[in-house]
Amino acid sequence: MSGVLYVMAGVLLDQDRRVLLAQRPVGKHLAGLWEFPGGKLEAGERPLAGLARELREELGITVRGARPLVAVPWTYGERELLLDAWCVEYWDGEPQSLEGQALQWLPPTRVDPAILTPADGPILQALLATGQLPLPQADTDPLL
């Protein structure tokens, strides 16, 4: 995918069935808007490995199980990206802000699409439309 920036996004759901959103920090493109946490895939990195790395760096969690939800091609001016969103069903650790971004948990049905980055809106739509809500974080180990 030359010229296209490949970005991973994780849709985490807690025990109360709320999704985790991160606010884009001051100084970054689309500062102040909210997004599903994640980040850029590195050269040669597989999608799940990149998602796990980004969530470890950004939130301090270890992903133990995830599945693809939707891939969203998007263009911001001259920048083309593919936002690959996965439902993160199992993880170790408590998500925390390691990069200074604000975090909030909201029920998916209560997320106002106007607060999201434009590319993250279709992720919320896919989550709600397909009913593919991730399972809440479980105490049992998945079969990986």
Residues 33-86 have pLDDT tens digits of: 999 999 999 999 999 999 999 999 999 999 999 999 999 999 988 889 999 999
Share of the chain above pLDDT 90, in %: 74
- Residue 121, Cβ density class (10 Å: 0-12 exposed, 13-18 middle, ≥19 buried): middle
> In the chain, where does DSSP find H-type helix?
47-59, 121-130
Residue range 111-139, pLDDT digits in tens? 999 999 999 999 999 999 876 555 455 44
pLDDT above 90 for 11:
yes
DSSP structural state of residue 125: H
pTM of the model: 0.86
Q: Give the chain's domains with CATH numbers.
A: 4-130 (3.90.79.10)
Task: Please report how many Cα atoms fall inside a 13 Å half-sphere around the Cα of residue 90, on the Cβ side.
Answer: 9
Q: How far apart are the first and last CA of the chain?
A: 29
Beta bridge partner(s), residue 83: 7, 72
**Neighbour order of strands in the sheet with 4-12:** 38-40, 4-12, 79-92, 62-76
DSSP for 99-119?
SS--EEEE-GGG--GGGB-GG
